Every structure is written in C-alpha cells, then in structure tokens.
Chain A
Amino acid sequence: QSALTQPPSASGSPGQSVTISCTGTSSDVGGYNYVSWYQQHPDKAPKLMIYEVTQRPSGVPDRFSGSKSGNTASLTVSGLQAEDEATYYCSSYASSNSYVFGTGTKVTVL
C-alpha cells in the first residue's frame, strides 16, 4: 500500500487559483469515489475540506473544489487567500478496507 503521489509544493498569488494533483492506482483513487482532502496548518490537526471527490462539508468555502479523472484526483483552490497557505493531503479508500494518504503538498500564497 503505497502513498498517493502529490507534488511537494504549489503556489499562487492572492486571487489566483491553484490545483493540486493526487495520483494513485485502480486499487484506490481510480477504484472508488472516496477521495477526500485535508488542510493542515502548522502545529494543527488536519481539517476535512472535500469528501467523496467533490463534496464540501458545511462551513468550507466554495472556493475549494474537487474532481477526479481515472487514477488522479485534484483539489482546486480558487481566489487564493492568505489563510489558504497550508499543507494539503489527499486520502482515498483502498481495497481490503483500508485507507491511504497522499504525500502532501505545501501551498504558498505569494
């Protein structure tokens, strides 16, 4: 069970958009519509931002959106704001009733 692959870093200026990819296999990302995304600020617990590929929990701004194509899921943050600067992790349900996380992407707001 290998970690899902994310780019180490991404950046954008305030107001711009940034998209983070999350690549797995047909045994995880590609096999189930159970991809979720988490935002983690330094020294804080992760926060659920997207679940079931595209769904936003109550209270999460609609600037955050998710999608999936094949074995790759994506998180897009539109209208970047300073408070969006954080590390983002994807996660997927995987075969054998398990879960796998991505390697994490640090988003910098320039």
Chain B
Amino acid sequence: QVQLQESGPGLVKPSETLSLTCSVSSGSMNSYYWSWIRQPPGQGLEWIGYTHYSGSAEYNPSLKSRVTMSLDTWKKEISLTLSSVTAADTALYYCARHKAGASNAFEIWGPGTVVTVSS
C-alpha cells in the first residue's frame, strides 16, 4: 500500500513563501492525480489544488494567484508553494492521491504537516 508523507518548515513568517513536499513511498506516480488539501485548526477541509505528471494543474480559485504545484517522478515527490502567506494560511496541510480512473475522490492521504504563519 502506497504511503504519503508531507514535510515542511513548520513555521513561516508573514509575507514569505511556504514550501512543502509530499514523498510517495512506492508505485508509479504517472497514473494518478495528486492534490493538496488543508485544514485550519478546528475547521473543515479546503482543497488547494491538484497536479498530474502530464504537467496539468488546477488550483482553488481563491488561492490560484499564490499557489504553484509540481510533481517530480524521479524523486517521487509532489511540491506545493504558497506565496505571500498570512495567518489565515496556518493549517494542517495534507497531500492526497486521487483514486484511479475518473472517480474524482481522494483515496490515499498522508498524515499531514502543520504549518504556522507567525513572526
């Protein structure tokens, strides 16, 4: 069973850029879409965006101007960068693999990594 593991700095200063990485334990990355999803403390889930090995990517319209995602099949990593962060970006960030096919569901999740935006 493939496993995902997010990693990142933990603490980011306001106005700076957040960079996170999701490592994939095994299997091919080529057949799947990969999303980032976040959850502010005590709140619900928010989809950030997805990327695919073909190079396609789509982002949440509310974050689109600040988000970039990419996929490195050699390193088996998915990256997320979020620029100009504010306290509102403080959250638990998850990466997730979509279910194969066109089901548009998030089948496998990492444990998440906490990001706090504070000076």
Contacts and interface: CB of A to CB of B under 8 A. Distances in A.
Given A1-B61, A96-B61, A98-B60, A46 B109 contact: yes
Interface residues of B, number: 23
A34 B109 contact: no
A99 B104 contact: yes
Given A96-B61, A98-B61, A36 B44 contact: no
Contacts of A55: 103
A86 interface: no
A91 to B, nearest CB: 7
Nearest to B112: A45
A51 B100 CA distance: 11
B44 A51 contact: no
B61 A89 contact: no
B47 A48 contact: no
Given A1-B61, A98-B58, A51 B105 contact: yes
Given A1-B60, A45-B112, A46-B109, A101 B46 contact: yes
Q: With a 10 A CB-CB cut-off, give which of B60, B94, B104, B112 has the most chain A CB atoms.
A: B104
Contact of A100 (B47, B105, B111): B47
Contacts of B45: 38, 46, 89, 91, 101, 104
A89 B44 contact: yes
Given A1-B60, A1-B61, A45-B94, A99 B107 contact: no
A93 B112 CA distance: 22
Interface of B: 35, 37, 44-47, 50, 58-62, 94, 99, 103-107, 109-112
Top 10 nearest A-B pairs (CB, nearest first) are A51-B105, A36-B105, A34-B104, A45-B109, A93-B104, A97-B58, A99-B47, A101-B45, A104-B44, A51-B103
